[in-house]
Amino acid sequence: MQQHVFTIAKVCKEFGVEEAIICPGSRSAPLVYAFTQIAGINCRSVVDERSAGFVALGMAQQSKRPVVLICTSGTALLNFFPAVAEAFYQKVPLLILSADRPPELLNQQDGQMIMQKNVFGKHVNASHELLCFDEGKVDYALTERIVLGALYETIFSAGKGPVHINVPLREPLYPKDIKPNIPRLHQFKDLGNAPIAMPSGKLDELKDAWLKAQRKLVIVGLGPEDKSLGLALNKLVNQSDVVILADIVSNQLESSNIKNFDALVQYADAEILKNLEPDLIISIGGPLVSKSLKNWLKTCKPEWHFRIATEINTINTYQNLTEFIRAVPVDFLNAFIAITRFNKPSSKQYSGLWKIYSDKTQEIQNEYLKNIVWSEPYAIDFLLKSIHGPAQIQLANSGSIRFVSWLANVPADISVFGNRGTSGIEGSVSTAIGAALINPEETVVLICGDLSLLYDRNAFWQNELPQNLKIVLLNNFGGRIFEWIDGPSSQPDYLEFFTTPHNRNIEFLTAEFRIPHYICKSVNEMTEKLASFLSPDTGLAIMELQFEYKENLEAIRLFKSLQIINQ
């Protein structure tokens, strides 16, 4: 067996890697030996590669450290692709190690072999391939250099993300004696993020614009928990001419002075939106959940729009960018705050105007919720008011994340995550499992739809399921979001292909994996069962919320079409 695989494991250990997800296979046996033999890296087995990719994503999302993902050769590697793409756009550090056959066998009709080199294309920070050494001719220094460089690339400050190393291996794969003796590694330290020079000239540009502007809007998109960023934003939030809108998965919701902006913009008439237009925008972070906010911002023509990000490529989501500043947002904001006088805010009560419409939005939502119609919006509101820390919420895509964004009543001590890099429905259960495994002392509540759960049912096909995971299932029997969003709902003849109705029974799934299962068909049933469901003593559990089809659809359409008008 080629001994350089032990160099791979040792470099990962010395760099600070603590977790590895291993998928079954034969060609990857040397990698399995290497990682399971080294002390300090916790190895977990996950059978389904697609699920394994998202479990690793959830773990790295929480730890903010690289997680190793190992698979055998062939199409096993392709099953990682959805999670790799999500990690790339969500900026989550993963190190993918794929075992492969020797290069001379490629495209020679040998078994279980595809073109694995560079298979992820532009959806990774970098791709590498190790040499396939002959017995006794291993270059340990070269292997060390490639692996260390790859780990560095997963956390590089131009954007954390996945890196792929293809590892061709010759037989024998199963030695009689495992001898992990390799030459001593060079001494090195965790390199951390590469520094980005502070663009001082841009500080002056933003300062000049800031002092001239009277209506300043700060947009915070998808991002991990970052207390230092919160402290910087809090220095801006109390100014009368500043409004901070932090997305539901930005983990900066408490820094936002208008938390229910998604519903506000959805409900507001054209005159209100005109009154709220900014003359200066600062945007940071990843994508936004709120489609209504994105669409409105695209109609705005601010005099200044500064985008602050570490990416090399310019992102112009709202098509009104005037200046791209390549910098670490929190570092730039702190430097900007230090040179700007905030004791003379504009007399224009911009934030006060937003607050008026925010209060109106809350009033009409409260009136709606007083009716106690058993529906998805009501159930989500009830749930959010019942979760207490230490806890986090994982949100699946489609209706689940939209309802939470519109309600925006997440408790202050609860963080919120969602796979909004690519916004796919696959992998939400696996991601939540990974998050729960990393945070065993924290309750992880996943809110998802029935299609998301069924699509990712193999997430439960592993030996170690976290008992601190609670899954709230909004079961409308088949992607019913397409019946109330614009576009598909106006095409009734084709709805069966959008909505994918089904008759799957969740009880069979919970019975197969021996998961406690709560079914609620009314407000009273949810009230009676919620405490038991959320109790740590119950362990991993699924609460299935079932709704009467027409009543639920009517309630959602009403909730979505609430209006505030300028008076």
Residue 178 has what pLDDT?
Answer: 61
Is the bond into 411 cis (omega within 30 degrees of 0)? no
User: Does some domain include residue 362?
Assistant: no
CB 36 within 8 A of CB 9: no
Number of domains in the chain: 3
What gap in Å lies between CA 210 and CA 194, rounded to an integer?
29
Residue of 469, 451, 565 lying closest to 513 (CA atoms): 469
Low-confidence ranges of the chain (pLDDT < 70): 1, 111, 157, 175-195, 341-348, 478-499, 567
**206 and 80 in a common domain:** no
Domain presence at residue 195? no
Q: What is the structure's pLDDT at 274? A: 96
Predicted pLDDT of residue 333: 94
Is 355 within a domain? no
Whether residue 280 lies inside any domain: the answer is yes
Same domain for 66 and 100, yes or no, is yes
The runs of H, that is alpha helices, within 188-311 are: 200-212, 227-234, 261-267, 270-275, 291-299
For residue 385, the model assigns a pLDDT of 94
Cβ atoms of 265 and 370 closer than 8 Å: no
Provide the β-strand partners of residue 307.
Answer: 283, 324
Please, where are the H alpha helices in 72-112?
81-90
Please state, in angstroms and rounded to a whole number, the distance separating the CA atoms of residues 295 and 423: 17
Max distance between CA atoms of the chain, in angstroms, equals 83
Strands of 159-220, DSSP E? 162-168, 216-220
pLDDT at 346: 57
Q: What is the CATH number of the domain that holds 304?
A: 3.40.50.1220
Domain boundary, last residue among 118, 152, 168: 168
Does one domain contain both 276 and 401?
no
Q: What is the pLDDT of residue 277?
A: 97
Peptide bond into 501 cis (omega under 30): no
Residues 424 and 486 in one domain: yes
Nearest-10 Cα torsion for 547, 514, 41, 144: -70
- What's the pLDDT score for residue 312? 82
Residue where one domain finishes, among candidates 125, 153, 168: 168
* CATH at residue 483: 3.40.50.970
In 3D space, the residue among 15, 271, 27, 212 whose CA is nearest the CA of residue 5 turns out to be 27
User: 128: which strand partners?
Assistant: 165
Q: What are phi and psi of 400, to 5 degrees?
A: -55, -50
Amino acid at 2: Q
3-class SS letters over 286-320: CCCCCHHHHHHHHHCCCCEEEEEECCCCCCCCCCC
Provide the residue type at 536 as one letter: P
Tell me which residue range forms the domain holding 29.
Answer: 4-168
For residue 492, say if its preceding peptide bond is cis, omega within 30 degrees of 0. Answer: no
Q: What is the pLDDT of residues 169-216, one digit of tens each?
A: 988 787 666 666 666 666 555 545 556 777 878 999 999 999 999 999
Place of tokens 């990974």: 434
Residues 344 and 376 in one domain: no
Torsion of CA 35, 38, 39, 41, to 10 degrees: -20
Cα gap 147→129, rounded to integer Å: 10
How much is the pTM? 0.92
Query: Is the same domain home to 308 and 456?
Result: no
What sign has the CA pseudo-torsion 546, 548, 554, 559?
Answer: negative
Are both 326 and 401 inside the same structural domain? no
Taking alpha carbons only, the member of 308, 403, 424 closest to residue 416 is 403
Q: Which amino acid is at 14?
A: E
